[in-house]
Amino acid sequence: MVAATNTRIGQDSFLEALRSEIVAGTEILAAWITHVQAKGEIEILFELETWLRGLGAFFDRRHLPLQDAERASLITRSFVPEVRVARLALQECERCALQLCSLGQDAKVEFEALVETQIYKTGVLDARVGKGLEQATPVDSLAHLLESINDLKVMIDALEDPARQDLKLFLSIGRTFKSDLRNCRYVDMLLGQRFRLQFDRIDNAVLSTVFRSIAEENMRHNMALALLYLYRFLHYLTLVSSALHHDRPLRRFLVLFSLLHEQTDILCDFIKSRFLKERRGNSRLRIAADLTVHSLRMEAQRMFERELIFLSSEKDASAIYAKVENSHGLLRNCYQSCVVTLIQAFDENVDGKALFPSIVEGFQQGQQLRKDLWDLRQDFKTELERRESFDLSLVLDRVTRFRESSLRYLMYQDWGEFERFSDSLVTAANEVEVRMLLRKFISFLEVLMQEVSKRSVLQ
C-alpha cells in the first residue's frame, strides 16, 4: 500500500504543479484547446503563445541585447533594426493565428448557453459576459488578434523615415501590442497561464523515482515548478533548432531569446525565494540551487552581452547563423545541466543520459567539470568568510583533490594558469596575501566555468 502511494506521488508531482498553476478560465477555452489537440495542431498553438510572449519581452528594453554604450544613449539610438525584427515576429504570430483559425471551433462550445444561464440566475446580463459577446469563441478572439496584427504591420510599414523609428516609437508599438492582447479575450486567458498540461507534461521514469523520494510535499511542488520552467525553456529552443536545421530565416528569433532572458530572471527569483532563502534544510539542494542560479544568470549575460550583440542589424547570413547557433547551444546545455544538477541534489547517481538521451559524452564531462569548479569556488568563498585565521593547508588540500580528480578534463592551456594560482598560495607571505590570491582564484574559476560551457557547445 505504501509503495503504491509513493508511486502515485512520483507520477502526480508534475500534474499537481501544473494544475495549481492553471488560472481559472472557461470551459470554452478548454474545449477549444482539446479541439486543437485532436486536430494534431497543438504545437501551432504553442508557437503562437511563444511568439506573443516573446514580443511582450522584446518590447521591454531590459531584454534587448545592447552594449553598455547603446544603453547609455537609448534616446538618440535608432531602433530601425528592432522595429524590423518586431514586424518579422508579428508575421509569425499572424501565420500561427491563421492556421489555428482554419481548424474551426469545437461543436460542443455553446456560448449562447452561457448567456442564458447568466440571465436566468441574475435576471440581467453581466457586463463581463456582455463584453464577451463580441468574442464568443477563441476563434473570434483570434480574428480580433489578426486585425490588431495587421494594424500594427500597416503602421510600421507607413513609417518609412528611419529618423522616426526611435525609442519612443518602439515603446509605443509595444504598448499598443500589449493593449491589443488584453482586448483579445481568449488570447489573454491563454497567456494568463504559465504552464499548460498539453505543452508541459513531463513523463520520465527517472524523474518519477526521484520525486517519490522527496517526502516533503512543499519541496516536491517547488522542485516540480522549477523543472517545469527549465523544460519549458528547452521547448522554446526546439523552435530555434528546427529553424537552424531547415535553414530558415533566423533574425526573428531574437524575440524568443528576449523571452528566455525575461523568464530566466523570473526563474532565478523563484529558486532563490524557495530554496536559498533559509539556511536550514537540504544543504546539497542549496548548493545545487545556488549553482543553478549562477549558471542561468551567467549564460543569460553571456548571450545578451556577447553572442547576440548586433544580431538585429547584422547583414551577413553566416554571422547571423553563428550567433543564433551559439546562443541556442549555450542555453540548451545550460538548461539541461541545471535539470541534472537539481535532480542530483536528491540522487547523485542519476545519469544525465537518463534525463536527456541525446546528450553526448562531452556534455556529461563538461557538466561534471562545471560542478567541480563550482564546489571548489564555494569552498574558497567559505574560507574567505571566516573572520578568524584559517588553515592554509586545508585550502591547499582542496586544490590537490581537484587536481587529482578533475583537472584532467580542462584544456592544457588552462592547466598553467591553475598551477600558477595554486603555487602562489604556497609561497604567499601572509594571510592578507592569501586572501587576495583566493579572491583572484575565485574570479578565475568563474571565467573558467564560462569557457567550459562554451567548449561543450563546440563539441
Per-residue pLDDT of the chain (459 residues; tens, 9 = 90+): 555 556 566 656 776 665 655 443 467 788 889 899 999 999 999 999 999 999 999 999 999 999 888 888 998 899 999 999 999 999 999 999 999 999 887 655 544 444 444 444 455 445 444 455 567 788 989 999 999 999 999 989 888 778 788 899 999 999 999 999 999 989 998 998 888 888 888 888 889 889 888 888 888 899 999 999 999 999 999 999 999 988 888 999 999 999 999 999 999 999 999 888 766 557 788 888 988 998 899 889 888 888 899 999 999 999 999 999 989 988 998 899 899 989 988 988 888 888 888 766 556 666 777 778 878 888 888 777 776 666 677 778 887 887 777 766 666 566 777 777 777 877 776 777 878 888 888 888 887 777 766 655 444
Q: What are the start-end ranges of the H helices in 214-351?
A: 217-245, 254-271, 283-302, 317-344
* Listed residues 359, 387, 416: the one ending a domain: 359
Does 215 lie in the same domain as 303? yes
pLDDT of residue 320: 93
1 within a domain of the structure (yes/no): no
C-alpha span between 343 and 353 (Å, rounded): 13
Burial class (CB in 10 A: 0-12, 13-18, 19+), 107: exposed
Does 259 lie in the same domain as 211? yes
Does 72 lie in the same domain as 160? yes
- Written as nine digits, the cell of 355 is 534525463
Does residue 57 contact residue 177 with C-beta atoms inside 8 Å?
no
Does 345 lie in the same domain as 380? no
pLDDT of residue 224: 92
Does 296 lie in the same domain as 437? no
pLDDT of residue 23: 41
pLDDT of residue 115: 47
Query: What is the Rg, in whole angstroms, of the alpha carbon atoms belonging to the chain?
Result: 25
399 within a domain of the structure (yes/no): yes
**Residue at 150: amino acid letter:** N
Does residue 137 contact residue 68 with C-beta atoms inside 8 Å?
no
The residue count of the chain comes to 459
pLDDT of residue 459: 47
Does 391 lie in the same domain as 284? no
120 within a domain of the structure (yes/no): yes
19 within a domain of the structure (yes/no): no
Among 340, 46, 1, CA closest to 193: 46
* Listed residues 308, 342, 359: the one ending a domain: 359
C-alpha span between 97 and 101 (Å, rounded): 6
For residue 266, what are the domain limits? 200-359
225 within a domain of the structure (yes/no): yes
pLDDT of residue 121: 47
Does 256 lie in the same domain as 336? yes
414 within a domain of the structure (yes/no): yes
Identify the DSSP state of 313. G
Does residue 140 contact residue 189 with C-beta atoms inside 8 Å?
no
C-alpha span between 71 and 377 (Å, rounded): 32
Does 44 lie in the same domain as 177? yes
398 within a domain of the structure (yes/no): yes
Does 304 lie in the same domain as 155? no
Give the total number of structural domains in the chain: 3
Does 388 lie in the same domain as 347? no
15 within a domain of the structure (yes/no): no
Does 218 lie in the same domain as 72? no
Does 136 lie in the same domain as 216? no
* Listed residues 359, 393, 409: the one ending a domain: 359
Distances from the Cα of 205 to the Cα of 8, 10, 185, 336, 391, angstroms: 12, 9, 38, 17, 45
Distances from the Cα of 375 to the Cα of 84, 368, 378, 385, angstroms: 44, 11, 5, 15
C-alpha span between 153 and 306 (Å, rounded): 30
